[in-house]
Structure 1
Amino acid sequence: MICTPLIKPLQPLVRHTRTPRVWLFDLDNTLHDASHAIFGHINQSMTRAVMQSLDIGEEEASALRKTYWARYGATLIGMVRHHNVKAADFLHLSHDFDIAGNTKIEKNLSAMLNAVPGIKYVVTNAPMHYARIVLDRLNVRHCFAGICSINEMCLQGRFRPKPSPALMQQLLVQLQCEPTRTILVEDTLKNLKTAKLLNMKTVHIFHRGTPFSSTQRMRPAYVDLRVNSVQQLLTHPFALSA
């Protein structure tokens, strides 16, 4: 069982066979449709967390949240760097809602994941407690050997979430995997661009609810495969070939 500073095991009693092929799956709008209900709750909860942490009004908190997300890729980073907010406290506040009840079930996802050759991990900018609840609700936690959540994405004392090249490079080192045999599955193009620069394989799950998706008309050169859902990927020859 792989356990590194970046990767934490999801199922201590499950043993995954080591293979040369490694899958890194994003979570929201990749393994499940977060735009169905989850993202609305996260937006509200995130703004409320900024308000409570800084004792400011909703309008100011909303603007600050969006500024930090655009600048750093995660509101958490701005809150930690500029306001000395404790990361664990903020991650809890920003995802404090009925997660399981708002997670849309994806039919047959567990069976399809298990049918695809290769060892699989979750790599998400979401917090660990949120990711575990979603994976349990989807009934797929047992399909993955481990997870890298934003809780672990800290290098040299600073949070480095996706699309950080340093993060992706460290993941490859700690998993001891060959970049050309490692596949990143994502709904966010900038994360896939970083992966391709490191010679990884890339799969784009196109989702209309993902920010800036309206500009994603064509498949960029750094994307090896573009599909409209994780189910489409898992039944594609790209995934099923060993």
Structure 2
Amino acid sequence: MSALKGGPVWFFDLDDTLHNASARIFPQMRTAMADYMVEHVGVDAEEAGRLRQLYVRLYGNTMLGLVRHHEVSSAHFLRETHRFDDLEAMVHGHAHDLAALRRLPGRKFLLTNAPEAYARRVLAALGMERCFEAVIAVEQMAMFGQLRPKPDARMFRHLLARLKLMPSRCILVEDTLEHQKAARGLGMKTVWMQRWSRGAAHPGLRRRPVYVGRRVSKLAALLR
């Protein structure tokens, strides 16, 4: 990555970017979301699965659909679906990623659609809690009284304005293409992390999309 005027500013996703959430955490999280919908929305398990997929397709995540259509409290949903008693044992990362993150020049922020308490527990389990200037979790992505998590371009604009950053200085490292597309549309640079979710979310994709600047499978590649 070439040097940028004023130094680079990195925004890192968390799940499936800094650690392998797909192995154990995501399956349990999907079950927790389905159970939540059965209990608090009043649908059966089959309908819960259908609604979860629909809301991910329409809004980028399940929570926004439940808030908009079922009067669900976002705080309650996030708290109940990210409650893992054994989370630390489920987190799987790599020591060389931690070393690379520590060596990476520039400012570093965590930017995640997960709740802050969960994000901080994962970072602590990875030993990365001191690598980031700040944790920007979904609770901090509110605008005009509504949550606008990734990939909402309005949130990206608001965040960069709040931090007084030019988009051209900023690099988003993500496993989710939709988030990168929104960031690139604002002039940010993008890196697609493909270690743990490679091909899973985009099975028909064979070429790097034009809005993806680089593809990497480990954080050490960012040092080059």
Shift of 1:183: 0.4
Q: Aligned residue for 1:170? A: 158
Structure 1: give runs of 5+ residues left out of the alignment. 1-18, 238-242
Q: What is the match of residue 222 of structure 1?
A: 211
From 175, 178, 186, the counterpart of 1:198: 186
Aligned partner of 1:89: which letter?
H
CA distance in 1, matches of 2:210, 2:50: 34
Q: Distance in 2 between matches of 1:120 and 1:215?
A: 32
**Which shows bigger deviation, 211-220 or 59-68?**
211-220
Distance 1:133 1:208 in 2: 20
Q: TM-score, normalised by structure 1?
A: 0.84
The answer for the alignment partner of 2:173 in structure 1 is 185
Work out which of the residue numbers 119, 125, 143 in structure 2 matches 1:137. Answer: 125
Q: From the superposition, tell whether residues 219 and 207 of structure 1 become closer, same or farther in structure 2 (CA, over 3 Å).
A: same
Is 1:114 the counterpart of 2:102 in the alignment? yes
- Does 23-32 or 97-106 show the bigger shift? 97-106
| Matching of residue 83 in structure 1 with residue 70 in structure 2 | yes
Structure 1 residue aligned with 2:34: 47
Secondary structure, counterpart of 1:203 in structure 2: strand
Q: Which amino acid aligns with 1:40?
A: P
Paired letter, 2:151: P
Task: State the alpha-carbon separation in 2 of the partners of residues 96 and 60 from structure 1.
Answer: 23
The answer to which of 179-188 and 60-69 deviates more is 60-69
Distance 1:118 1:216 in 2: 32
CA 1:109/1:208 → structure 2, altered by over 3 Å: closer, same or farther?
A: closer
Contact 2:11–2:108 (CA under 8 A) maintained in structure 1: yes
Contact preservation (8 Å) 1:110, 1:140: yes
Structure 1 position 207, deviation (Å): 4.3
Quick check: 1:125 aligned with 2:113? yes
Distance 2:39 2:78 in 1: 13
The 8 Å contact of residues 20 and 178 in structure 1, kept in 2 or not, is answered as: no
- Superposition RMSD on alpha carbons, in Å? 1.6
My pick for the range that moved more, 128-137 or 49-58, is 49-58
1:9 matched residue in structure 2: none
Q: Is the 8 A contact 1:95 1:130 kept in 2?
A: yes
Distance 1:39 1:215, change over 3 A: same
In structure 1, distance between residues paired with 2:124 and 2:190? 26
2:148 — aligned with what? Answer: 160
Describe the shift of the 1:229–1:111 C-alpha distance in structure 2 as closer, same or farther (beyond 3 A).
closer
**Would the aligned equivalents of 2:101 and 2:219 in 1 still touch at CA under 8 Å?**
no
Amino acid at match of 2:45: E
User: Runs of 4 or more off by more than 6 Å in structure 1?
Assistant: none
Does structure 1 retain, via aligned residues, the 8 Å contact 2:175–2:197? no
Q: Distance in 1 between matches of 2:43 and 2:211?
A: 41
Q: Matches of 1:206 and 1:146 in 2, distance apart?
A: 24
1:121 deviation in Å? 0.4
What's the offset of the Cα at 1:135? 0.6
2:3 aligned partner:
none
Deviation at 1:199, TM superposition (A): 1.0
Question: Aligned letter for 1:128?
Answer: E
Amino acid at match of 1:61: A
Q: Is the 8 Å Cα contact of residues 195 and 216 (structure 2) preserved in structure 1?
A: no
Contact 1:186/1:203, CA 8 A, preserved across alignment: yes
